[in-house]
Amino acid sequence: MVSSQSRIGIIGAGTSGVYLAILLIQQGFQVDLFEKAPHPRTDGCGILIVQAGMQALHQGNPEITEKIINSGDRVKLFEFRNLRGGVINSEPVTYEEHELPGMLVHRKAILEALLDKLPPECIHFNAELASIAQTEHSAIVHFKDGRKWEGDLLIGADGIVSKVRQYIVPGVELFYLGDIVWRGIVEDHSFCPEGNFFVYVRGRGIYANFFHIGGGRTHWGFFIEKERTDSETGKLQPNNIAFLTKVRYNNSSE
């Protein structure tokens, strides 16, 4: 049973970990957030935050969405083009008064807007998870630099190669789908106007996208998606589903 006095540890200060920490602190929990990097990892490129994502952030704290709105571009147009620039489909986006927009923004601006709302004493850098143990009443974490944390609940927000997951669901292997992506940001004031999201489609899983992210910058991305054989379809499923089902069943029957 998790009470509001509970001490909660979160591994990973990416966007998920930081936002979750904010929400839990607002509910009165004692939260410690551990990040292996020596500082917030604000690198990355452009991100499209769809309206539902903005609404979810707004519910947590309207100041977060306000900062994001001031840092990027409101989505104004989605346009699909062929390689000669001919328009295949064009979808202007309009908003009602007071409606939250979808946003085109640098990942750094999202993380910084979130970090602004996190009490700095909650976040611990250079804290790379080494091991996890569990007693009847607590979770215990050891970090690579020798630090130790003990609390009531531990949450893994440590990304796609999660070490926490290895303890909860051992044996899950990542499966490379064969897709290749190049991304970057350029200064641009003319090719991609403010709020525009262009997709150039060649067909058969080859396409490029460009979107303006505010401040005279355009995000670009080139994508090659590998065709999948029937035997590859569905491989993203963890290979020990039976184990997960058993855990859920055991918990619900308690």
Ligand X SMILES: Cc1cc2nc3c(=O)[nH]c(=O)nc-3n(C[C@H](O)[C@H](O)[C@H](O)COP(=O)(O)OP(=O)(O)OC[C@H]3O[C@@H](n4cnc5c(N)ncnc54)[C@H](O)[C@@H]3O)c2cc1C
> Read out DSSP for 70-95?
HHSEE--EEEEE-TTS-EEEEEE---
Binding string, residues 95-124; x marks residues near ligand X by CB under 6 A: ------------x-----------------
Rounded CA separation 6/15 (Å):
22
Candidates 64, 40, 41, 44; CA nearest to 53 is 64
49 binds ligand X (CB under 6 A): no
Instruction: Kindly tell me which residue out of 45, 115, 122, 169 binds ligand X, with binding defined by CB under 6 A.
Output: 45
Q: How far is the CB of 171 from ligand X (least distance, A)?
A: 18
64 binds ligand X (CB under 6 A): no
C-alpha distances out from residue 191 to 45, 194, 218, Å = 18, 10, 9
Instruction: Kindly tell me which residue out of 10, 11, 109, 192 binds ligand X, with binding defined by CB under 6 A.
Output: 11
Rounded CA separation 85/80 (Å):
9
- List the interface residues with ligand X, window 15-34 (CB under 6 A): 15-17, 34
37 binds ligand X (CB under 6 A): yes
Please list, residue by residue across 63-75, b when 16 or more beta carbons sit within 10 angstroms of its beta carbon and e when fewer do: ebbebbbebbbbb
Cβ distance to ligand X smaller for residue 5 or 213: 213
Three-state DSSP at 103 gives strand
Cβ distance to ligand X smaller for residue 100 or 127: 127
Instruction: Kindly tell me which residue out of 13, 31, 103, 104 binds ligand X, with binding defined by CB under 6 A.
Output: 13
129 binds ligand X (CB under 6 A): yes
Binding site for ligand X (CB under 6 A): 11-17, 34-37, 41, 43-45, 47, 107, 127-129, 157-159, 163
